[in-house]
């Protein structure tokens, strides 16, 4: 039985969505390849293959045959794309100035006849060789694509070059080749602009750890660090692993993971994340996860994988690009048929810019996803950004989402002459294995009173209700909805619930022993965030909770939103589906644990404060790594801003191409000017999309 392997392969030379599709098709055709995902943002392919049937050389040849390359990775060498990132702003400015200057020089030279002198110095045959030599890399890609029965953007421009040569305009053909190279460079720079935030995030991953063995410290490559290794971190150093602090004390800057700017204190038992920075003190950490398995590694993986979840707008652009090129060729043929003007025909082929259409959406999406990842907001794909931009219903979990999720015991009322400490001891002991926030409150209160918890046998969690356990031979139940026949007890519970408290009923051997009340604290930023979400056009905001009616009503009324109480997990899924069947786009905000099914069902599931929580990372479409409700309206506005940029990119590209094609078809554009003008949309898209990075810093 063959074993399928998954490998990552760097791909060089991609600068648009068309490139990724070309590489994907080339690798997919290899016998033994199961699945291929090609990512523009990280310039790599992830391939699932049978290693007995597919060798690395086969993949390298397939990529090369498609017109791209698999670079050899050399340790210590800085990738050229990283170097480009450092100077991209200066390059962008310089390119714009150089492009404008050269364009003016070429166009003026053509109009004033300055280029005519070249034809007297250089023969036509020599000129053809100059064109072929200068354009050989591009022409070879076109030939490869043609053999694969594909039409690419340079196919049109190559026909334009051929048309110029056929009418004896080798100088025009040579200038067109020059602008083809300029176009390649601007497209590459445009793609790099979108990749920048993702590349910066990847560059933050730690590479070296100081590992302690037998009392001696040794700097070790991160690939050689293992779980349970002891890692020592000193002031100013980057924490290389996820783990628990077993010695030392210090201040940790976690902004690289959560986006939180204020350092936090780390001491014995504190869990730290890779890529955080120790600003003060010294820590000794027991490794729990390293490399791609660390929280930061998973963040990078999610950001890279986000590219595979394409927005509808991007899928439309990809499909349109496939039809656009034949349309342009048809317009060129019609132009020649009507005008019999080969130069006008060449200009039509040269001015068309299909790559810009393909770039319009992913450039904006990549810019937003990368920039937000550095703020602790993980967006799993462009399709979720697009859906969030159209969301009109916001459903919210209460405990751990709207509230801090850390309730405190406020009231203990015991019956049958049982004292408060005994009642609390029974309740906390029964809940000692529960992970519910109310169980934490009981255990914390017992600890503060110095009470020792008893062993809980036959522990049973009753979903949505409470727990049951055997404590010292007595069956103890702790829950929220056990039937109460005593009217005086019911009145006491009602008064507590009207105060916004959650009431737990404790029974011993089916006899009511007492009630314990606890209250949670509403996050301070929630009221303002709710108002901002409403101003952004969210039509309906509803609170969904498993808590009792009075507690939920207290929170809902204080925020001015509707609410539903006493809900089981399946009830939340049902409510999400109800809104969806009515045509609403539903965003659901939860803590990612109890709400995982509803988060997955919603059009956009947003997990609040899900750092390190596997179920939240899997179920939600957007993950907030820190518990800050102000991020909710921010990401809604970010999604809408991104879609405005996408629409602006697509609109600008469409109008620009329509005008360019019309001017070229009617003979108002020379081939030289057409070739020069086809590069401008790339710069426009880069400049427009760059606003997303600047505005989200």
Q: Which among 354, 305, 103, 69 is positioned nearest to 198, based on CA atoms?
A: 305
Element at 293 (helix H, strand E): none
The secondary structure of residue 32, as a DSSP letter, is T
CA atoms within 13 A on the CB side of 39: 27
SS3 491: helix
- Catalytic residue chosen out of the listed positions 397, 520, 591, 628: 397
Q: In this structure, are residues 201 and 85 in contact, taking their beta carbons and an 8 Å threshold?
A: no
Provide the 10 A C-beta neighbour count for residue 139. 18
Helices (H), 538-665: 549-559, 569-581, 596-601, 614-619, 631-665
Tokens 């950004």 belong to residue: 385
CA triple 203-207-208, angle to 5 deg:
150
d(CA 395, CA 397): 7
Can you say whether the dihedral through the CA atoms of 478, 484, 485, 486 is positive or negative? positive
**Active site includes 242?**
no
Q: In this structure, are residues 686 and 192 in contact, taking their beta carbons and an 8 Å threshold?
A: no
Number of H helices, E strands in the chain: 25, 23
Q: In this structure, are residues 317 and 357 in contact, taking their beta carbons and an 8 Å threshold?
A: yes
Would you mind telling me the total number of residues written for the chain in this entry? 697
SS3 191: helix
Q: In this structure, are residues 5 and 56 in contact, taking their beta carbons and an 8 Å threshold?
A: no
Name all contacts of 145-149 with Cβ < 8 Å and 24+ positions apart. 145/22, 145/67, 148/25, 148/26, 148/66
Q: In this structure, are residues 337 and 168 in contact, taking their beta carbons and an 8 Å threshold?
A: no
The secondary structure of residue 206, as a DSSP letter, is -
Helix, strand, coil fractions of the chain, as percent rounded to 5? 55, 20, 25
The secondary structure of residue 400, as a DSSP letter, is I
Q: Which two tokens mark 409?
A: 């015991």
The conformational region for residue 253 under phi > 0 = left, psi -120 to 50 = alpha, else beta, is: beta
CA atoms within 13 A on the CB side of 451: 22
- Edge-to-edge strands of the sheet including 44-49? 5-10, 44-49, 33-39
CA distances in angstroms from 679 to 99, 386, 459, listed in the order given? 9, 28, 69
d(CA 572, CA 549): 15
d(CA 537, CA 48): 43
In sequence order, what E strands does 176-215 have?
208-213
DSSP line for 610-639: -TT-HHHHHH-SEEESS--TTHHHHHHHHH
How many angstroms separate the most distant Cα atoms in the chain? 115
Q: In this structure, are residues 578 and 601 in contact, taking their beta carbons and an 8 Å threshold?
A: no
d(CA 267, CA 557): 40
Residues with catalytic function: 397
């Amino acid at each position: 039985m063959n074993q399928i392997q998954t490998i990552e392969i760097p791909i060089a030379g991609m600068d648009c969505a068309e490139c990724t599709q070309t590489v994907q098709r080339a690798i997919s055709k290899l016998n033994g390849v199961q699945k291929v995902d090609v990512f523009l943002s990280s310039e790599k392919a992830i391939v699932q293959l049978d290693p007995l049937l597919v060798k690395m050389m086969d993949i390298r040849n397939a990529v090369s045959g498609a017109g791209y390359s698999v670079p050899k990775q050399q340790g210590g060498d800085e990738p050229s794309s990283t170097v480009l990132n450092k100077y991209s702003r200066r390059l962008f400015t310089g390119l714009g100035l150089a492009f404008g200057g050269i364009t003016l020089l070429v166009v003026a030279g053509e109009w004033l006849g300055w280029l005519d002198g070249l034809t007297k110095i250089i023969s036509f045959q020599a000129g053809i060789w100059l064109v072929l030599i200068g354009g050989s890399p591009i022409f070879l890609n076109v030939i490869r694509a043609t053999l694969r029965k594909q039409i690419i953007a340079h196919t049109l421009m190559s026909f334009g070059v051929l048309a110029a040569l056929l009418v004896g305009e080798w100088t025009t053909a040579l200038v067109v080749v020059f602008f083809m190279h300029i176009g390649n460079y601007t497209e590459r720079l445009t793609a790099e602009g979108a990749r920048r935030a993702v590349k910066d995030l990847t560059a933050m991953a730690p590479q070296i750890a100081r590992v302690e063995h037998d009392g001696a410290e040794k700097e070790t490559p991160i690939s050689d660090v293992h779980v349970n290794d002891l890692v020592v971190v000193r002031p100013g150093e980057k924490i290389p692993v996820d783990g628990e602090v077993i010695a030392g004390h210090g201040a940790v800057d976690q902004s690289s993971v959560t986006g939180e700017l204020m350092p936090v204190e780390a001491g014995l038992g504190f869990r730290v994340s890779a890529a955080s920075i120790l600003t003060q003190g010294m820590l000794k950490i027991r490794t729990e996860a390293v490399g791609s398995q660390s929280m930061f590694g998973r963040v990078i993986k999610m950001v890279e994988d986000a590219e595979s979840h394409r927005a509808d707008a991007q899928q439309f652009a990809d499909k349109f690009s496939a039809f656009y090129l034949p349309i342009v060729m048809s317009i060129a043929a019609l132009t020649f048929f009507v005008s019999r003007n080969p130069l006008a025909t060449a200009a039509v082929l040269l001015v068309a810019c299909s790559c810009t259409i393909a770039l319009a959406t992913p450039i904006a999406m990549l810019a937003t996803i990368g920039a937000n990842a550095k703020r602790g907001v993980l967006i799993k794909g462009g399709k979720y950004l697009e859906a969030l931009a159209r969301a009109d219903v916001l459903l919210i979990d209460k405990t751990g989402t709207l509230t801090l999720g850390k309730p405190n015991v406020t009231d203990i009322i015991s019956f049958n002459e049982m004292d408060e400490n005994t009642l609390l001891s029974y309740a906390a002991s029964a809940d000692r294995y529960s992970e519910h926030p109310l169980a934490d409150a009981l255990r914390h209160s017992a600890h503060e009173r110095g009470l020792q918890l008893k062993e809980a046998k036959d522990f049973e969690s009753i979903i949505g209700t409470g727990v049951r356990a055997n404590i010292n031979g007595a069956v103890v139940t702790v829950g929220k909805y056990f039937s109460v026949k005593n009217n005086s007890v019911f009145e006491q519970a009602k008064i507590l619930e009207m105060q916004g408290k959650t009431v737990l009923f404790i029974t011993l051997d089916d006899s009511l022993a007492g009630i314990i009340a606890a209250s949670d604290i509403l996050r301070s930023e929630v009221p303002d965030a709710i108002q901002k979400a409403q101003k952004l056009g969210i039509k309906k905001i509803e609170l969904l909770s498993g808590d009792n009616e009075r507690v939920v009503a207290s929170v809902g009324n204080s925020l001015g939103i509707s609410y539903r109480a006493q809900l089981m997990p399946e009830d939340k899924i049902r409510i999400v589906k109800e809104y969806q069947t009515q045509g609403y786009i539903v965003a659901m905000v939860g803590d990612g644990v109890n709400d995982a099914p509803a988060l997955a069902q919603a059009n956009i599931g947003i997990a609040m404060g899900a750092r390190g929580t596997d179920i939240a990372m899997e179920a939600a479409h957007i993950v907030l790594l820190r518990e800050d409700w102000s991020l909710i309206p921010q990401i809604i506005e970010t999604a809408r801003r991104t879609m405005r940029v996408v629409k602006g990119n697509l609109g600008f590209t469409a109008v620009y191409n329509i005008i360019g094609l019309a001017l070229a078809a009617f003979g108002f554009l020379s081939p030289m000017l057409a070739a020069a003008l086809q590069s401008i949309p790339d710069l426009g898209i880069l400049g427009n999309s760059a606003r997303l990075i600047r505005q989200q810093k």
